[in-house]
Amino acid sequence: MIRHLSYFALLGTAAAANFTVERMPNPAGVDPQVGGVDVLPDGKVAVVFHRGEAMTFDPATKTWSKFAEGLQEPLGVIAESASSWLVMQRAELTRLKDTDGDGQADDYETVFDGFGMTGNYHEFAFGPAKGPDGSLYIALNLGSNGAGVREEIRGKWSEIGDLDFKQMIHDNEWGKRSVKAGRMYSRVPWRGWVLKLSPDGKTMTPFACGFRSPDGIGVDADGNVMVTDNQGDWRGTSPLHVLKPGGFHGHPASLVWQEGWNLGNPLKLPLAKIDAMRVKESGRFPQGELANSPTQSVVFPKTWGPYAGQVLIGEMNQKRMVRFTADDVNGFRQGSLIPIFDGTDLGNGNHRIAFANDGTLWVGKTHLSWAGAEGLVKVAPTQVNDAFIVTAVKLEKTAEGHSFRISFSQPLPSVNSIRLDRFNYLYHEDYGSPKVDEANVEITKREKIGDGHEWRLTVTPKLGAIHRFDLGGLKSEDGKSLEGKSVYYQASELP
C-alpha cells in the first residue's frame, strides 16, 4: 500500500515537497522490532531484529532472507558487504561473515568486547558508526536504577557509589535501595562512554564521556561524531552533541572511568563545577514539542537536493524526524533542529535510518516496551529539488549586535510573519526540566540579502538558550509553504 501524503496537500496549499511512505511486509515469524538498518550497494537492506535475527530485505521482490541469528539485542549494523556485517549486540561488536558463500553467516567473530556489563537491562550497546578514516565508534548506555545488577558481572567493578556490590544486586527489596544507586549508574567500564576502535577493532581509545542513553550515534558530512541522548537525569531535554574528543558531555556517572579520576563520586560534585566541565549541547530537542527520544543520525545524500549534507535524526515518540543544520561559532559546532515529515504517514518509533544509493530512506522501527512501533518503512522524496525549506541558520555578529542569517532553498518576497522566542531547560540531576526563562525575542530589523534566498534578522540572542523560530506563515515567491515550520537554534556560543 503506497500512500502519497503531503503536509501541504493536507493544508490545501501548493505542495513544496512530497514524501511517499510505504510500509514493507514483516518477515514471517520474526518479532519485527528493528535494532539496525543499513543498505548494501545493490540496494538490498540489511536489518537486525530485537530477538537476534539478521536479515536481508530485497526491495524488488519484497522478500526477506536470513543472514544470521541468535544475537542478543542487536542495536546497530554496518553491512560492509553482502557477506560481512558488523553488528553491535549487548555483549560485543560482532562481525558476521559468510565464508562459504551459501548466503548465511557461519562465522560470528568477536571484534570488540572490552567493556563491562552488570546485567542491568539498561546497559544497551549502540553503533557502530564509521568515521572517514574507517574508525568505528560505539556508544554504551548507563545502567538504570529501574533495576540493580546481577550477581555475576563482566569487567572491573567501580567502588564509587553509595551502594556496594552486594547492595547493588537486584532482589525483591531493590526498590527500597534504588534511589541510592543514582538514577543512572556506571559501575563497570565505559558505561556512558563513546569508544573509538581502530578499523580492525584491535585498538580501543576512550573517545568521549558524559552520556546517559546515547541511542543515536552517527558521523556528519565533515567527519564529526554526533550523539543524541535522551531526556532524563542531567538531561533537561534531549540533546544533540557533536563530540569533542576527550570531552565530558554532561551526564556525570561515566566520569569515574576517566583516566586519573580522583574527585570521588561525580554525582556529589557541586553543580557549578560539573557544569563548567561539560561540553555544551550542539542542539536540543524540546521535550513533548519537537522530539522526546531522538535516535540515529545520518547525512542526507546528494539525491536529496536542498537537504543534501544536512543531518537527519530519527525520533521514537513523535510522528516525525528532525534534521540538523550546523553553524560553527567560535570554533564550536551548534545549530538548528528542524522537524521533517510532519503530516505524513510516517508514524512514530523511528529508530534506525539509512539512505540507499538512489536516495530511498529506509526506516526501522522499534519500541522495546517504550513508545514506538515496528517494522521496516520506505520513505522516498518526490520533486525534492523543488522543496522549499530552511537550509541554514547562522548566528552572526554585526555592527548593531547580532543577527540570524537564514538561508532558504527558494527566494521569499517577505519574512514579516516570522516570530521568534526563546527558552531554556535546567541542567541538573533531576529527571527532565520545566521550560525556564521563556521570553519573546524582538526582531528589530529584517533585511533581504540578494535575491531573497537569504534574510538577515537583527536580534538580541541569549547565550545558552534555544531560539525558536515560528516560520509557519512563510511563502516562497511562487506561493509554496515551508517544509519544516519551526526552527530550534541552540545558542551554546554567541559570536
Q: Give the H or E element holding residue 336.
A: strand 332-340
Nearest to other proteins of 110, 398 (CB atom):
110
**CB 48, CB 38: distance < 8 Å:** no
Please state, in angstroms and rounded to a whole number, the distance separating the CA atoms of residues 178 and 180.
5
For the residues of 135-199, what is the DSSP string, one character each? Answer: -EEEEEPPEETTS-B-SS-BSPPP--SSS-HHHHB--TTHHHHGGGG-SEE--STTTTEEEEE-T
The smaller minimum CB distance to other proteins, of residues 69 and 328, is found at 69
**54 - beta bridge partners?**
48, 68
State which amino acid sits at residue 88.
M
Least distance between other proteins and beta carbon 54 (Å): 12
Shorter beta-carbon distance to other proteins: residue 4 or 367:
367
Query: Please, what is the minimum distance in Å from the beta carbon of residue 60 to other proteins?
Result: 27
Distance separating alpha carbons of residues 251 and 144, to the nearest angstrom:
13
Q: Of 106 and 451, which CB lies nearer to other proteins in the complex structure?
A: 106
CB of 87 to other proteins, least distance (A): 11
| Residue 390 grid coordinates | 530552511
The whole-angstrom separation of Cα 68 and Cα 54 is: 5
Give the binding site for other proteins (CB under 8 A).
Answer: 29-31, 50-52, 69-73, 89-92, 94, 105-110, 113, 117-123, 146-147, 150, 152-154, 175, 178, 231-232, 237, 286-289, 292, 316-318, 348, 367-372, 419, 421, 425, 430-435, 440, 468, 470
Q: Which letter does DSSP use for residue 431 in this model?
A: B
- Decide whether 109 or 162 has the Cβ nearer to other proteins: 109
Closest approach of Cβ 380 to other proteins, in Å? 25
Residue 432 CB, shortest distance to other proteins, in Å, is 4
- Output the smallest distance, CB 155 to other proteins, in A: 8
Residue 434, exposed/middle/buried by CB under 10 A (0-12, 13-18, 19+)?
Answer: exposed
Q: In what order do the strands lie in the sheet with 390-398?
A: 390-398, 401-408, 454-459, 445-449
Specify the residue, 305 or 372, whose C-beta has the smaller distance to other proteins.
372
Tell me, what DSSP letter sits at residue 114? -
The residue assigned the cell 558531555 is 249
Smaller CB separation from other proteins, 44 or 468: 468
Least distance in angstroms from the C-beta of 318 to other proteins: 7
If the CB atoms of residues 351 and 394 are measured against other proteins, the closer one turns out to be 351
Which CB sits closer to other proteins, 128 or 381? 128
Q: Which is nearer to other proteins, 135 or 231 (CB)?
A: 231
The single residue listed with the C-alpha cell 543520525 is: 297
Q: How far is the CB of 370 from other proteins (least distance, A)?
A: 6
Q: How many helices and strands (H and E) does the chain possess?
A: 4, 35
Beta strand 311-315 with 454-459 is unpaired
Smallest distance, other proteins to C-beta of residue 316, A: 8
Of 366 and 391, CB closest to other proteins:
366
Instruction: Please state whether 103 falls in left (phi above 0), alpha (psi between -120 and 50) or beta.
Output: left
Nearest residue (CB) to other proteins, 130 versus 150: 150
SS3 483: coil
Conformational region of residue 100, where left means phi above 0, alpha means psi within -120 to 50, and beta covers everything else:
alpha
Distance CA(392)–CA(326), nearest Å, equals: 7
Asked if 43 and 81 count as a contact pair (C-beta separation under 8 A), the reply is no
Taking the complex as a whole, the smallest distance from the CB of residue 288 to other proteins amounts, in Å, to 4
Query: What is the distance between the alpha carbons of residues 253 and 265, in angstroms, rounded to a whole number?
Result: 8
Give the C-alpha separation, 50 to 36, whole Å. Answer: 9
Q: How far is the CB of 359 from other proteins (least distance, A)?
A: 29
How near is the Cβ of 447 to other proteins at its closest, in Å? 23
